[in-house]
Amino acid sequence: MKNKYYFLLILILLISNAVKAQLSDVITGLNEPTDLIINGNDLFISDQDVIRKINMTDSSPIAIDFITGLEGPYGMIINGTDLIVAESTLDKIFKVDLTTTTPVAIDIITGLTGPTGIALNGDELYIAEIDANKIAKINLTDVNPTKTDVITGLSSPAKIILNGNDLYISETGANKISKINIADPNPTTTDVVTGLNIPVGIFLEGNDLFIAEIGANRISKADISNSNPIATNFIMGLNGPVGIVKNGNDFFMSELNGLKISKFTDNTLNIEDLNIVDNEKKLNYYPNPASNYINFVGLNKSVRIDVIDRLGKKIMSKNISNNYKLNVESLKSGLYFLLYDNKQVTKLIIK
């Protein structure tokens, strides 16, 4: 039992540490990349006075101007065949038909105050007005939409994202992520994650909230299912990250100060899917530490073994049976873990 909790502690510390990303540049030489959104294989980029797009399946993508002549396009969202854009400098929201060969911006609403982030809930479009410190909303089915204030008194709300009735807000002026319940006629904010460093872009996958912190040059991650979510390092070494989206295992990030879009492929394992077990009771192998081979004994059936490094990446996979000898000569010295039958993990030291 003591060993079980010792292994668990080690694995939590190692896998929850920052994933020092082996970043790759997707496209460079941009002007002022901010928000990102995915539509099929296309990645749309808000870039100073233009919306650009690239094909994510291309090995060396080229940015194509989708619509030009803008002033400060920022937040984007897809609504059917329309791309809806918050044009921050001109204080308006417009839409563009994605199916047309000659895109034309059609105003939806003007007279806003620094619109940045937008989120869609049915026919209602929620708008973060960063210069007015509030969230407003409009009904897209109205011929001439008028805005209604949802909540005021925020601190420079930049981006918003919906999860059910919860609207998550990056408050850059307060260095936090807050949320409101949009089903409440008089919503109040609840702090979700505090102590950040100029959070801007946010992306939610399951219970994991990913946060682009431009002041910390990192993407952090927080589990919103916790009663007191704590942001931990996820991707470090960025240059002014603002926007973040995910396609499959690939995270795409806009680096405002780096004038580029970068990508990180997440191949880490989820610790919630793992169960630390006592070596002696569940899996018998020797020697440990090892340098050349590991011998597995006491197995009464064929099982799958995965060797995992300290960042949670699978290094090798084998189907083994009793008395199988696993060659580990190619592994560098250090701490590894053996994933046994996709659920149970034991510690392995290579010397």
Q: Where are the domains of the chain?
A: 25-265, 284-350
Question: What pLDDT, on the 0 to 100 scale, is given for residue 275?
Answer: 45
Distance CA 72, CA 259 (A): 15
Note the helical H segments in the chain. Answer: 2-15, 279-282
Question: What pLDDT, on the 0 to 100 scale, is given for residue 93?
Answer: 99
pLDDT surpassing 60 at residue 119: yes
Question: What pLDDT, on the 0 to 100 scale, is given for residue 157?
Answer: 96
Which range among 87-101, 180-194, 244-258, 284-298 shows the weakest confidence by mean pLDDT? 284-298
Predicted TM-score (pTM) above 0.85: no
Looking at residues 103-110, what average pLDDT do you find? Answer: 97
Instruction: Report the CATH number of the 284-350 domain.
Output: 2.60.40
Distances (CA, A) of 81 to 44, 180, 210: 14, 29, 27
Q: Is 342 left (phi over 0), alpha (psi -120 to 50) or beta?
A: left
Instruction: Name the DSSP class of 311.
Output: T
Task: Quote the Cα angle for 206-211-215, to 5°.
Answer: 170
Instruction: Report the CATH number of the 25-265 domain.
Output: 2.120.10.30
